């Protein structure tokens, strides 16, 4: 069963990064701060994915 938990992590990481890029581009366009929000949201999504990996590996 643990294989199924970890197989979805790649999709979660991809979805988080994709949504971070879309939201970051929109915020950068709205506030005219070109790379700021994209970079911050991608870093935040990577750290949240690492947290999810650690949390799921303890189960």
pLDDT score for 37: 96
Q: What confidence category does residue 4 fall into, taking pLDDT thresholds of 50, 70 and 90?
A: confident
Span 17-42, pLDDT tens digits: 899 999 999 999 999 998 999 999 99
- CA dist 36 and 46 (Å) reads 16
* pLDDT attached to residue 5: 67
pLDDT above 70 as % of the chain: 93
The domain spans of the chain are: 2-57
Please answer whether residues 21 and 36 qualify as being in contact, where contact means their C-beta atoms are separated by less than 8 angstroms: no
The pLDDT of residue 2 is 65
Contacts of 38 (CB under 8 A, 6+ apart): 20, 21, 24, 25, 28
């Amino acid at each position: 069963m643990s294989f199924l938990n970890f197989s979805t992590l790649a999709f979660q990481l991809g979805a988080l990064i994709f949504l971070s890029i879309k939201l970051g581009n929109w915020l950068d366009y709205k506030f005219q701060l070109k790379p700021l929000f994209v970079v911050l949201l991608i870093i935040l999504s990577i750290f949240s994915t690492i947290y999810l990996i650690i949390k799921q590996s303890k189960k």
